[in-house]
Chain A
Amino acid sequence: DTGVSQDPRHKITKRGQNVTFRCDPISEHNRLYWYRQTLGQGPEFLTYFQNEAQLEKSRLLSDRFSAERPKGSFSTLEIQRTEQGDSAMYLCASKNVGGPGDTQYFGPGTRLTVL
Chain B
Amino acid sequence: GNSVTQMEGPVTLSEEAFLTINCTYTATGYPSLFWYVQYPGEGLQLLLKATKADDKGSNKGFEATYRKETTSFHLEKGSVQVSDSAVYFCALSGGGADGLTFGKGTHLIIQP
Contacts and interface: CB of A to CB of B under 8 A. Distances in A.
Interface size grouping (class) on chain A: 20 to 34
Interface stretch (B14-22, B65-73, B93-101): B93-101
B29 to A, nearest CB: 14
A42 B44 CA distance: 10
Contacts, number: 58
Given A91-B44, A102-B32, A107-B43, A42 B99 contact: no
Contact of A45 (B44, B100, B105): B100
A48 interface: yes
Nearest to A101: B49
B98 to A, nearest CB: 6
Max count, chain B CB within 10 A of own CB: residue among A46, A91, A106: A106
Contact of A41 (B34, B42, B104): B104
Interface size grouping (class) on chain B: 20 to 34
A37 B99 CA distance: 14
A106 B45 contact: yes
A45 B43 contact: no
Interface in A18-75: 31, 33, 35, 40-48, 55-56, 59
Interface of B: 4, 32, 34, 36, 42-46, 49, 51, 89, 91, 93, 97-105
Interface of A: 31, 33, 35, 40-48, 55-56, 59, 91, 93, 101-109
12 contacts: A35-B99, A41-B105, A42-B104, A44-B102, A45-B97, A48-B99, A56-B99, A91-B43, A93-B100, A101-B49, A104-B93, A106-B44
